[in-house]
Amino acid sequence: MLAEAVVKRTAPGHGAVIKVYVMSNKNRKNFYDLLDIMPDATAEEVDAAFKRAKATYGESSVALYSLYSDDEKDIILEEINEAYATLSHESKREAYDAALSVAAQEDSNYVPPRATTTADTFKKDVEVHQLIPQVSLKMPPVTMDEQNPLIGEQYRVLYTKLEHLSLKNSYKCFAITSSVKGEGKTVTSLNIGYVMANDFRKKVLIVECDLRRPTLISYLNIQNTGTGTVDVLNGEADPMNSLIQVEETGLYIMPARKHQENSTKLLGSQRLSNMIKILKSQFDYILLDSPPIMPLADMGIISRVVDGLILVVRAGKTPKDIVTKATASINNSNIIGTVLNGADMPMKNYYY
């Protein structure tokens, strides 16, 4: 619910009554937070943020159906519209900023406008470490596929389900695996991570844990130099100094960098659990791009240090008995969902 504070302020030549809406819980937001912009955002940035927010919470987005009721979405959209009406109007924005300043002085519990981006905040947290390299993806993310928009929408639906589990059970770390190799788990990891970071403004880290067959670096426009998961688990590198960032997003990646034949021993060390604990304090979500369940023992180890498993199954390729046998070989109660990859649906081809 919203609490409404009305602040009267008289400016030279005119009077203004400003409605300042704040959330009644500890996560209350002002207009800048609602649109996810900084207080010094330009008019163009305000317009872009408004369009993005409307698309995220609009009726055409089915991705939020499991998180918000229609009434809750209507309230959010009303807030977004009022935020835009104020911040896109010069004099209204000036008066609103003044009202925020007054509120900050009168309310000791006031939460000021966010002045840094997600990436800036992360960099500030790890400022003692080296600058994180910026990279681009070789393959366009699914959300940019205008020919098949339902592909991206299904990944958004997947995110909302994970978000629902996170809110209910405080889950933050998920392993993405498959029964056997070649079912698309790495592509799925990249796509769901990108959707989380780009569409929903989360800080997300993908950690490559398929140490015998590392392929994540091949999807990135970067040379395979530097440290990665293998170095961290060997105690030869710091986790924060082994990250790269997908440019203009909150998506970070820790590639394996090296092949590790004896992966079971390395993943079974206490360092994996310790690394995840460290990284959980820095990220909203951690996705482990994990090895296939069969014929390795690695997933039995990984399943014990994550909050849940996401199983990727390639439609029309993986026999049912293989999937059944694979899930039975690990703690299948930890499997929170399945992604059917490459399924042919009526009229459209999309992932879910």
- The pTM (predicted TM-score) of the whole model is 0.64
Q: Which residue has the higher pLDDT, 342 or 17?
A: 342
Looking at the predicted structure, is the pLDDT value of residue 17 above 50? Answer: no
For CA atoms 22, 23, 24, 27, give the dihedral sign. Answer: negative
pLDDT at position 145? 66
Residue-range domain boundaries for the chain? 2-115, 134-341
pLDDT at position 185? 92
Looking at the predicted structure, is the pLDDT value of residue 107 above 80? Answer: no
Residue 137, CB half-sphere, CA atoms under 13 Å: how many? 19
Distance (Å, whole) CA 235 – CA 212: 18
Q: Which residues contact 341 (CB under 8 A, 6 or more apart)?
A: 183, 184, 187, 188, 312, 313, 314, 315, 351
Q: In this structure, are residues 173 and 286 in contact, taking their beta carbons and an 8 Å threshold?
A: yes
- Mean pLDDT of the 236-255 span: 92
CATH of domain 2-115: 1.10.287.110
Share of the chain above pLDDT 90, in %: 27
Q: Which residue has the higher pLDDT, 333 or 86?
A: 86
CATH of domain 134-341: 3.40.50.300
Q: Helix, strand, coil % (nearest 5) of the chain?
A: 45, 20, 40
For 155-193, how does the pLDDT look when each residue is reduced to its tens digit (9 = 90+)? Answer: 888 888 888 888 888 899 999 999 888 888 999 999 999
Identify the burial level of 306 via C-beta atoms within 10 angstroms of its C-beta, where 0-12 means exposed, 13-18 middle and 19 or more buried.
Answer: buried
Q: Which range, 77-86, 134-143, 207-216, has the best average confidence (pLDDT)?
A: 207-216
